[in-house]
């Protein structure tokens, strides 16, 4: 889904577009789409980079990915299981399988591939994105907390982190808060739920337990800017 806000240097804009982990991030030079599912491909006419975290239906829709690729010729980076499923629909030169611990760079955008604690998935990953002018965004897919998140927070000091608060197995506002507590970003954004109450409860707990972390209560389909 296109992001109407045009960020300047040192800014990013983003939009959460489904009830899952679907997020579009716009930097001053690039448009990054993560886990496009349950949405029409025409919503992404200008995508430059497409990221897939794992193979579940609410994160990987091969038909949607194929159509976005056909209309944009974007680069696609996917976890190993998803990459295998996409080999028949994405040209080899535009599809790259990524594994935990690797880093790719696309014209100044750095993407570090991190662990994901989502046991039902085969080879899930999370993405730590550093924009061309240094804004750091951590997309945690639908991961539960894991100890290494504390090191990620200390080493990279993310500006924004997306925290799963519902739907995925074992996830809740409380587990989302634990992610925010481990990483300690400047701004925590709850997502991956169809419940407004889940989002609100996450922000209430963050405010009480981690007051140094700002919670941004987002609406699905609405564009936001950081900072």
> Does residue 153 lie in a domain region?
yes
* Domain count of the fold of the chain: 1
Domain that holds residue 57: 12-226
Please report whether residue 4 resides in a domain: no
Residue 152 lies inside a defined structural domain of this protein: yes
The first and second tokens of residue 171, run together, are 């996830």
Beta bridge partners of 214: 187
pTM attached to this predicted model: 0.97
What DSSP assignment string belongs to the chain?
--------TT-EEEEE-SSSS-EEEE-SS-EEEE---SS-GGG-TT--EEEE--SSTTT--HHHHHHHHHHH--EEEE-HHHHHHHTTTS-GGGEEE--TT-EEEETTEEEEEEE-B-TTSSS-EEEEEE-TTS-EEEE-TTPBP-THHHHHHHHH--SEEEEE-SSSTT--HHHHHHHHHHH--SEEEEES-S-HHHHHHHHHHHHHH-TTSEE----TT-EEEE-
**Residue 158's domain is classified under what CATH number?**
3.60.15.10
Residue 87 lies in a domain: yes
Please state the length of the chain.
227
Residue 202 pLDDT: 98
Residue 83 lies in a domain: yes
Which residues is 52 bridged to in the sheet? 78
Within a domain: 21: yes
101, part of any domain: yes
pLDDT at 170: 97
Token representation of residue 107: 């014209």
Contacts (Cβ under 8 Å, ≥6 apart) of 96: 75, 76, 77, 78, 83, 104
Sequence-separated (6 or more) residues with CB below 8 Å from residue 211: none
- HSE toward the beta carbon, residue 87, CA cutoff 13 A: 7
Note down pLDDT in tens along the chain; length 227 residues. 689 999 999 999 999 999 999 999 999 999 999 999 999 999 999 999 999 999 999 999 999 999 999 999 999 999 999 999 999 999 999 999 999 999 999 999 999 999 999 999 999 999 999 999 999 999 999 999 999 999 999 999 999 999 999 999 999 999 999 999 999 999 999 999 999 999 999 999 999 999 999 999 999 999 999 99
Give a yes or no: residue 17 inside a domain. Answer: yes
CA distance 167 to 41: 23
Q: pLDDT at position 2, please?
A: 80
Residue 198, pLDDT score: 98
């Amino acid at each position: 889904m296109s992001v109407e806000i045009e960020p300047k240097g040192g800014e990013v804009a983003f939009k959460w577009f489904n009830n899952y982990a679907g997020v579009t991030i716009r930097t001053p030079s690039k448009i990054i789409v993560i886990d496009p599912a349950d949405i029409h491909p025409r919503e992404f006419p200008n995508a430059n980079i497409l990221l897939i975290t794992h193979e579940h239906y609410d994160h990987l829709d091969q038909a949607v990915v194929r159509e976005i690729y056909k209309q944009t010729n974007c680069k696609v980076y996917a976890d190993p299981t998803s990459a295998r499923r996409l080999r028949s629909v994405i040209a080899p030169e535009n599809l790259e399988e990524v594994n935990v611990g690797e880093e790719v760079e696309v014209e100044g955008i750095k993407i570090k591939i991190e662990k994901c604690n989502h046991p039902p998935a085969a080879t899930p990953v999370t993405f730590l994105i550093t924009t061309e002018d240094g804004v750091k965004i951590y997309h945690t897919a639908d991961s539960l907390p894991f100890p290494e998140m504390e090191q990620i927070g200390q080493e990279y000091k993310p500006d924004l982190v997306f925290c799963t608060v519902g739907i995925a197995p074992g996830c809740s506002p409380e587990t989302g808060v634990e992610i925010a507590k481990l990483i300690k970003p400047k701004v925590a954004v709850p997502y991956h739920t169809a419940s407004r109450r889940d989002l609100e409860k996450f922000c209430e707990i963050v405010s009480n337990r981690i007051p140094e972390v700002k919670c941004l209560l987002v609406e699905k389909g609405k564009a936001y800017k950081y900072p």
